[in-house]
Structure 1
Amino acid sequence: MALTCSDFCKFLFAIILPPLGVFFERGCTSDLFINILLTILGFIPGVIHAFYIILKY
């Protein structure tokens, strides 16, 4: 799996606001709602989940 320039932008958004990085990668799906919940419960789990989603898809 090769990383593109847009992936680096998504990683930057995922560090600043994790749901935004997931939204740019997957759109308005259940992954976004899971990430919003994780970000509310704790910022670090939201970032980890966002990185996982960006790297997986």
Structure 2
Amino acid sequence: MEIMVVVFRIGENIQVLADAARPAWPPPATGQPGTAQGAPPPPSSQPPPSSTPPG
């Protein structure tokens, strides 16, 4: 049972660190979590991945 408590405390610490670092990240454009993966917009030279290529 002690191991469970330690893991739970580590999870709380990670959550606190995530909440503390959250304001530093740019706001998500789509309103979905995971801004670290899709925060930067695609370059203007390439079409966005959501749109299908012509042809």
Give the TM-score normalised by the residue count of structure 1: 0.23
* Bigger Rg, which one: 2
TM-score scaled by length of structure 2: 0.24
